[in-house]
């Protein structure tokens, strides 16, 4: 029997690349998306688009129940959906703040909450959280995004203990910058922060274009798909791994240096 995979945020970027790649490796891939129309041209019988709105537990329960009725199991859950909010803390609105955590953190928890019982009953499962190298290091203007990804790292660490006795593995992938729709279409920016009269305008005009440029010229999403396959195939795969140039540059540096020395290196690198 083929292994069953559920991927969230599947319509573009790393999610879409993983759907395409894993569907060629004898997996049945459920492509969780807010809009299944995104998959109307898909030909592979191994790709099954499924409506999934991470803000709505009922939508998640419905999708998981559908998969359970068909296959009786979900072997692999890939929590991939996420987006970035660019705002200072001073300017961020209550709605923007909540929306960022609602997708990037509570969405992950909601899907885990619905999938874990099925994995636990089957005494088998793999949960892969697509976090970020910004889940271990901070950057200005990205406090809300960074803290949401730090939270994802915490979810991975805690769940690993909580689920180990049920033969459920939990891993985190920390990508560097990747060329996807992340910065091209899905970045959310705060109006006040980006106003030309903002007290942060120097920081915004120097840093924001560099970050966007680095993301749009980043690594290819297929590298993440390859790592997902390695995690599935290797029961001894480490708890977390980095992928992409920026993650491989900054994460080891963060481990080696003091917080203050690391901060100095980041300030030099981004000229902030
Ligand atoms: N690109 C990077 O440089 C980078 C670096 C590190 C980590 N990451 C993380 O990697 C994951 C995948 O991102 P990506 O780079 O592949 O970006 P992407 O192309 O924008 O894809 C993100 C997916 O998340 C869902 N999504 C986006 N905005 C959303 C919103 N406001 N509400 C609900 N769902 C939303 C969408 O899925 P549907 O439309 O199908 O629902 C979208 O396909 C994210 O968790 C991101 O934080 C990205």
- When the pLDDT of each residue in the chain is averaged and rounded to a whole number, the result is 98
Centre of ligand 1 to C-alpha 121, Å, is 30
pLDDT digits (tens, 9 = 90+) for 39-90: 999 999 999 999 999 999 999 999 999 999 999 999 999 999 999 999 999 9
Share of the chain residues as helix, strand and coil, in percent rounded to the nearest 5? 50, 15, 30
pTM over 0.85: yes
pLDDT at position 128: 98
Determine the residue of 15, 48, 246 to mutate for testing ligand 1's pocket, defined as the one with the most ligand atoms within 8 A of the Cβ atom: 15
Centroid of ligand 1 to alpha carbon of 180 (angstroms): 8
Q: Do the bridges between strand 3-7 and strand 47-51 make them parallel or antiparallel, or are there none, so unpaired?
A: unpaired
CATH of 3-270 given 3.40.50.150, 3.30.300.160, 3.40.50.720, 3.30.365.10: 3.40.50.720
Query: Which of 134, 140, 132 lies closest to 92 in space, CA to CA?
Result: 140
In tens, the pLDDT along 179-230 reads: 999 999 999 999 999 999 999 999 999 999 999 999 999 999 999 999 999 9
Q: What are 136-186's pLDDT values in tens digits?
A: 999 999 999 999 999 999 999 999 999 999 999 999 999 999 999 999 999
**Mean pLDDT value of segment 88-110:** 98
pLDDT score, position 26 = 85
Q: For 232-256, what is the mean pLDDT?
A: 98
Domain boundaries, the chain: 3-270
* High-pLDDT (> 90) share of the chain, %: 99
What's residue 237's pLDDT? 98
Q: Which atom of ligand 1 is nearest to the CA of 54?
A: 33
**Ligand 1, atom 45: nearest CA belongs to which residue?**
82
- Our answer on whether the CB atom of 146 is closer than 6 Å to any ligand 1 atom is no
- Work out the burial of residue 260: count CB atoms within 10 Å of its CB; fewer than 13 is exposed, 13-18 middle, 19 or more buried: exposed
Cβ of 18 below 6 Å from ligand 1: no
């Amino acid at each position: 029997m083929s292994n069953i995979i559920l991927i969230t945020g599947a319509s573009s970027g790393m999610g879409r690349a993983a759907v395409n790649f894993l569907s060629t490796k004898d997996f049945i891939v459920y492509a969780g998306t807010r809009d299944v129309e995104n998959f109307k041209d898909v030909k592979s019988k191994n790709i099954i688009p499924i409506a999934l709105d991470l803000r709505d537990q009922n939508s998640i329960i419905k999708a998981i129940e559908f998969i359970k009725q068909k296959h009786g199991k979900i072997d692999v859950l890939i929590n991939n959906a996420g987006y970035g909010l660019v705002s200072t803390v001073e300017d961020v609105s209550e709605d923007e703040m909540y929306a960022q955590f609602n997708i990037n953190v509570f969405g992950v928890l909601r899907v885990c909450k619905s999938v874990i019982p099925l994995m636990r009953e089957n005494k088998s499962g793999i949960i892969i959280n697509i976090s970020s190298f910004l889940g271990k290091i901070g950057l200005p203007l990205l406090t809300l995004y960074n803290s949401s990804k730090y939270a994802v790292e915490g979810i991975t660490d805690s769940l690993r203990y909580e689920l180990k006795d049920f033969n459920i593995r939990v891993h985190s992938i920390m990508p560097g910058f990747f060329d996807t729709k992340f910065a091209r279409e899905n970045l959310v920016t705060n109006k006040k922060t980006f106003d030309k009269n903002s007290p942060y305008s120097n920081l915004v005009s120097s840093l924001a274009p560099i970050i966007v440029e680095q993301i749009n010229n980043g690594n290819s999403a297929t590298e993440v798909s390859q790592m997902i396959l390695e995690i599935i195939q290797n029961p001894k795969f480490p708890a977390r791994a980095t992928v992409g140039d920026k993650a491989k540059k900054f994460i080891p540096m963060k481990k080696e240096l003091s917080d203050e020395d690391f901060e100095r290196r980041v300030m030099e690198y981004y000229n902030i």
